[in-house]
Structure 1
């Protein structure tokens, strides 16, 4: 309990740190006329492959002398941001018309690199006073006759900055390329390029506190919100039907069984003992692989807590659009902090199951998710380094994450484990467990593990199907996700449906006199994570234009880790719901 309170206090501090300026951006700058406004070039990359981004000057743009690198936060580095000083100089309230940024003679090799970027629809991203701006570097034009189409590759050389201000603050910025100013780079020959830019300032009345709203509104258009609410209403209808079916089942079947067993009716001589009541001596027999099971429950509880805190931060407005890595920073820090919850839950539950080696269970919970994540990261970071993309984490960032794990997550995990060992709580079982296990009868094929997991996963997945698309479009696309209120509702609906489906399947398993429900309830509850990973293939091949080894490995690698975390979290929900249900029904009858 003390560890849980400490966790809430630390996360409260995190909210204050991350939320020191939740209204718009991280700076809150004021400027006087003529003051230079910071403009940083970030990265370039193909529009359809979000993970394939390169440092801005990996393309042969002319660079300022010297190039100044902005010190990034942990979240910015994890997000692939690499901010450097841009070749364009913009002063507050100073208009410029066709100003020459620099002039450069492109070699044949540099022309070929630019042409390859134009073919792949490369875009550039910059930050002006912490406001994101984008522009394509060129376009493909078509010439010639129909019988012999010739392609022209045009490099834009003129950027037009439209900047809106309110008194002494920048409110909005937009950049566009002027199609009348371009360079033909279709042939492998040297090209003399003069990069130019134009700056226009215009005053508006939008307050500084609301300058990020336009990014949120771009993703919450009226028809998008209608689709969101329509999907939620469909999910609510599904839950109402599910709860109605369960209530009907409880009144007509379960309550009748409980009344019959509570009265301890004697069976006739020719009547066999069947039903869930007659395995009361085995239903609380501890599961196999107790260390692994306790670790899975502890890790699932940690992910549940992590998700709750992320939703709280999202509702508080911490994760405003283009916050440059705040979400990733929060995920790393909160995951490390909630290790105390994982350690406490796993070890205390393991001790309730009378496990002899609580240290082994603690090691399991420390590696059950971090181990696969570490292996996946090593492979993907190697791929990123081979492609020289900004997603490759530098050694300093890897060392920082390692230090967070060693000096924050591991001690908290150990502290939680010690607290769990000393809690000395006992497993609450309303029935005694017999010495000899009862033989499990042969079950029909549709009561097998895989059919049950398929049935258990399809209903919760149907509840969140529509919302998953918007989340994927935000993570692996260019859409902004800001509807955390809707996400919170969908999350609650997901938990409710998972719990009801898991306990219903557990009842049918017990009715078939199969008392090995522990792992079954966990696997059936977590099967939604497998459905989400299956949806990843559908989304990748039908909803996007992503391609290539780099993008494919990043998408399927990191989505496997995310879905694995969801599997652990929902598996824990399914087990906990089944455990409460079983304790209730067996506590309502007389057991010898």
Structure 2
């Protein structure tokens, strides 16, 4: 016998639900992966280590970038945090090791070399997110060689990044990044340089449960440690607040001084005297506005929220 339309509709609905569940299970949002599954890695921003408020987009520096940079749809918290998440040029599939895998060969122009050298001189770091875990690393280093003159210093760019990733069963627990100190690019001179950017991925198993993977970051923010306290900015803000408070108090005292003196000498005469100026305020707050019924209805239904 042929199935009824209701039975066919129910079967179709169950099939759609099964496909939806399968799609959810294969998504990175549940943080479960199979061997070889792609794990989302997003490049966030770059900026000077000693000034965390100064940040730029990751691809503002001439790293290896795709023809079309794909941006991640950000949540409200990421927007308020100032994140600029884009797909990173590295492919870190689940439990798949790579040894010195090429990202891209790139020819740095003189302008690119100058950008990287300026970033290295300011101790620029990069920030990424791998399966919602933050990671940081420096883009280069400065060798001063004991010389006080900056024109005699050497500037180097790291071209080989190493990712150490810990996993437990089908979940990512921790990720750390460091650089190969032997794979350097000299940026000291203004000349074109050919660079082969590389990366290495090493996976190791750990007994740490997934529920405790964020404990490492619980006592830290999404910025590198040992940041300098900007005492000048703090003192400047305090002085500004004190000056504004003093100015406001001075203005109020000048406005109210005559009234205080008048009321102190003759309180009865002050009661009979017609009020003027700022003293009208106490009467205005009890005065009905125009169209008070419409105003009350709008406030009662929450219409004022549309203006926010």
Verify same fold: TM over 0.5. yes
Alignment of 1:70-89 (within 5 A): 70-89=72-91
**CA distance in structure 2 between the partners assigned to 1:148 and 1:192 by the alignment:** 25
Alignment of 1:111-126 (within 5 A): 111-126=113-128
Q: Match of 1:139?
A: 141
Q: Secondary structure at the match of 1:27?
A: helix
Question: Which structure has the larger Rg over C-alpha atoms?
Answer: 2
Higher helix proportion (structure 1 or 2): 1
Mapped contact 2:144–2:150 kept (Cα < 8 A): no
Q: Match of 1:411?
A: 305
**CA distance in structure 2 between the partners assigned to 1:79 and 1:33 by the alignment:** 33
Q: Secondary structure at the match of 1:143?
A: coil
Distance 1:410 1:93, change over 3 A: same
Alignment of 1:356-375 (within 5 A): 356-357=286-287
Q: Match of 1:40?
A: 42
Q: Match of 1:210?
A: 212
- The alpha-carbon deviation at position 137 of structure 1 amounts to 0.5
Mapped contact 2:147–2:153 kept (Cα < 8 A): no
Q: Match of 1:157?
A: 159
Is 1:30 aligned to residue 61 of structure 2? no
- The alpha-carbon deviation at position 78 of structure 1 amounts to 2.5
* Greater Cα offset, 113-122 or 63-72: 63-72
Mapped contact 1:32–1:168 kept (Cα < 8 A): yes
**CA distance in structure 1 between the partners assigned to 2:153 and 2:144 by the alignment:** 5
Distance 1:46 1:291, change over 3 A: farther
Distance 1:148 1:73, change over 3 A: closer
Q: Match of 1:201?
A: 203
**CA distance in structure 2 between the partners assigned to 1:291 and 1:130 by the alignment:** 58
Hey, which bits of structure 1, 4+ residues long, moved more than 6 A?
A: 144-149
Higher strand proportion (structure 1 or 2): 2
Is 1:180 aligned to residue 182 of structure 2? yes
- The alpha-carbon deviation at position 75 of structure 1 amounts to 2.7
Distance 1:126 1:355, change over 3 A: same
**CA distance in structure 2 between the partners assigned to 1:358 and 1:140 by the alignment:** 70
Q: Secondary structure at the match of 1:162?
A: strand
Mapped contact 2:59–2:65 kept (Cα < 8 A): yes
Q: Match of 1:60?
A: 62
- The alpha-carbon deviation at position 145 of structure 1 amounts to 6.6
Mapped contact 2:107–2:195 kept (Cα < 8 A): yes
C-alpha root-mean-square deviation of aligned residues, in Å? 3.2
**CA distance in structure 1 between the partners assigned to 2:73 and 2:82 by the alignment:** 13
- The alpha-carbon deviation at position 411 of structure 1 amounts to 2.8
Distance 1:148 1:204, change over 3 A: closer
Mapped contact 1:143–1:149 kept (Cα < 8 A): no
Mapped contact 1:64–1:86 kept (Cα < 8 A): no
Q: Deviations over 1:509-568 (max 9, x none)?
A: xxxxxxxxxxxxxxxxxxxxxxxxxxxxxxxxxxxxxxxxxxxxxxxxxxxxxxxxxxxx
Q: Match of 1:355?
A: 285
Distance 1:104 1:28, change over 3 A: same
- The alpha-carbon deviation at position 186 of structure 1 amounts to 0.3
Q: Deviations over 1:286-322 (max 9, x none)?
A: xx96999xxxxxxxxxxxxxxxxxxxxxxxxxxxxxx
**CA distance in structure 1 between the partners assigned to 2:62 and 2:188 by the alignment:** 16
- The alpha-carbon deviation at position 67 of structure 1 amounts to 2.2
Aligned residues between the structures: 217
Gaps of 5+ in 2: 1-27, 222-270, 272-276, 291-301
Distance 1:410 1:167, change over 3 A: same
Mapped contact 1:108–1:190 kept (Cα < 8 A): yes
